[in-house]
Chain A
């Protein structure tokens, strides 16, 4: 059995999501190849390709290339014929492309897989994770997106991989669809979906200015920042901070929810965190039912005190 993983990358490295996908792919196939959409020279100099069979580097990509779902799909399809499965991380990146690839192969797609029982049986959450479904697929090729928090990333080890190349097939699309610009969130923090500590704020913060309390607490742990939908909608935090059913799924060692009620859509994105701490003034808030530690009180009083104690202890302790 052969599997192809579509790598999610940033400038500096293959993202952890990629290593989680590789781990999942190893449950499905003995040969696992990786496909990378990046300038070839940059990829060869920057990324550590070890431990799996082949790396397919996509040629004629520069920093200016429009990496549209349409062109990436064509390119993936040009290589698809020898694989029994193609895996993508269930991130905005993967979700955008995988269904397109599936439809063009006339096969289904299995979203957000959290467990692989066999080569045709998978478990995935439905209804915001309030139920789990075991699904089977009778398609000849399995197109899968992987919930990355459910698979521990493989370590980069082993012999270095064989490099192959293929062309980027964009001609058909470049006049019909293009990227104008990417407005990245300025972020010097660890990535939200893989951070060890996530401090998240909700509507109760009340303003973007007050949201800095969340940031200050996150700074102490060198953690990432999350937000509820209400906080994002109100403009306290950027959209890619949203944790939940329709935002990011996280599973850190520690998740601190500040002024977040814990609607099912929010809990869907963080309930697999190892330790959950809730700071809320309402003991009946649903978040308190799933939290390991609940502190009932006014966040504007508790959080500054907590920041103070933590910094003091960190310094002397």
Chain B
């Protein structure tokens, strides 16, 4: 079984982002970047399936820029076998892709690589879209299992526990299909130094967007990015009875 894991390079989740003064986006200059945390969970799940001999190959793919090699090396150090980098002409162009563009490109890669399973993040923590996995499944005509917190693979069937509004849903699909990861699926490992060294030997295939014969749609366009309204900081209370008083006032504003 072959698993494809799409990953995105995003601003690290610990960074406090700053909106650019010209309102075109968010400052990325000199800011720490990482693999999207949900994608790390996806890599971990794929690697575990390989370690249990359920999968025989784990392929990472990112649509990005030359400078995104580093996250692919990172993914290879975590146990993936090889990686594919699809490069956009420019950073601006990459930013202008909407989720459907990304899903269309991933579809072309999936048709080439014919994986049995795609495991990917439920959400990229920069655009917070939560779309690409579902779109990819639809474009391929495959079933999907989103927000997975447990995955079991047996005789061509993926059994998935999904985190839903009212609890957990247990569902299953006939592979091939797409799984998107939720936080509780696993705890990703750290790449060890020897594995980081070994990862340097693993292959990364690079191709230009233009080689894929896909014309981006770029239909959903970000016009401006701005700061949300700020909350005023409040009062520090020093006694429980004062707190009780405030709570009563809050709930009956008229009194």
Interface positions of A (Cβ within 8 A of B): 10, 68-70, 73, 91-93, 95-104, 106-112, 121, 125-139, 173, 175-185, 187, 196-197, 221, 229, 232-233, 238-240, 245-246, 248, 253-254, 264-265, 271, 274-277, 283, 288-296, 302, 305-306, 309-310, 313
Contact = CB atoms under 8 A, between A and B. Distances in A.
B146 interface: yes
Contacts of A103: 100, 103, 134-136, 138-139
Contact of B220 (A110, A238, A274): A110
A107 B243 CA distance: 51
B164 A182 contact: yes
B225 interface: yes
B99 interface: yes
Interface of B: 11, 13, 16-17, 19, 26, 38, 98-100, 103, 122-123, 125-139, 143-144, 146-147, 149, 159, 163-174, 177, 182-184, 217, 219-228, 231, 233-237, 240-241, 243-244, 246-248, 250-251
Contacts of B170: 179-183
A233 B184 contact: yes
B243 A96 contact: no
A99 B222 contact: no
Contact of B125 (A134, A137, A245): A245
Contact of A138 (B168, B219, B244): B219
Nearest to A294: B236
B241 to A, nearest CB: 6
Shortest Cβ-Cβ A-B pairs, 5 listed: A99-B134, A292-B234, A177-B143, A103-B135, A103-B138
A282 to B, nearest CB: 12
Contacts of A245: 125, 128
Contact of B144 (A70, A101, A128, A239): A70
Contacts of A104: 138
A68 B248 CA distance: 44
Contact of A238 (B132, B135, B167): B167
B169 A182 contact: yes
A130 B125 CA distance: 11
A127 B219 contact: no
Nearest to A193: B165
Nearest to B250: A275
Contacts of B172: 177-178, 180
Given A100-B144, A182-B166, A196-B251, 19 more contacts: A73-B138, A96-B146, A99-B133, A99-B135, A102-B135, A109-B99, A109-B135, A125-B228, A132-B225, A132-B227, A176-B173, A179-B169, A179-B171, A182-B164, A197-B251, A232-B184, A239-B167, A253-B251, A254-B250
30 contacts: A95-B130, A99-B130, A100-B138, A102-B100, A102-B131, A103-B100, A109-B129, A126-B225, A127-B126, A128-B125, A131-B225, A131-B227, A131-B228, A132-B225, A134-B223, A176-B143, A177-B177, A180-B171, A182-B167, A182-B169, A221-B251, A240-B166, A246-B125, A248-B165, A292-B235, A293-B234, A293-B237, A295-B237, A295-B240, A310-B244
B156 to A, nearest CB: 11
A126 B220 contact: no
Contact of A309 (B99, B133, B241): B241
A132 B139 contact: no
Contacts of A173: 143
A102 B125 CA distance: 21
Given A100-B144, A108-B99, A306-B243, A246 B171 contact: no
A41 B18 CA distance: 53
B240 A133 contact: no
Contacts of B236: 283, 288, 293-296
B220 A246 contact: no
Given A103-B103, A127-B17, A305 B240 contact: yes
Contacts of A92: 147, 163-165
Given A70-B144, A93-B165, A294-B236, A132 B228 contact: yes
A293 B235 contact: yes
Contacts of B136: 103
Contacts of B221: 135-138
B247 A310 contact: yes
